[in-house]
Amino acid sequence: MRILLLIIAVVFGFLIIKQMINSRRRSEEKKLPETTRMVRCEHCGVHIPKQEALLDNNHYFCSDEHRKLHHS
């Protein structure tokens, strides 16, 4: 009888630990970064991440050189 209770306790312990590991993995998957928004350079048309682009008068540019060339 004791052996049976011990086996049941070990199985339940294993299942609880497995559930904790799976829930931790699922929460880590939810923390993945969102997709990066891309914008188009007004001068050359190349697409670059918005956070790397230069913004001038509601126009995005991939470099300061292209920003200057666009205004000339």
Q: Are residues 5 and 21 in the same domain?
A: yes
> What is the pTM assigned to this prediction?
0.52
User: What is the chain's mean pLDDT, rounded?
Assistant: 88
For residue range 15-50, list pLDDT tens digits in order. 999 999 888 877 766 665 667 889 999 999 999 999
Which domain range does residue 11 map to?
1-32
Helix, strand, coil percent content, the chain, rounded in steps of 5: 55, 15, 30
**Radius of gyration of the chain from its Cα atoms, rounded to whole angstroms:** 28
The number of folded domains in the chain is 2
Is there a single domain that holds both residue 3 and residue 28? yes
Q: Which helix (H) or strand (E) holds 72?
A: none
Q: How far apart are CA 23 and CA 56, in angstroms?
A: 45
Residue 59 has pLDDT above 80, yes or no: yes
Residues 46 and 61 in one domain: yes
Same-domain status, 42 and 26: no
Residues 42, 27 share a domain: no
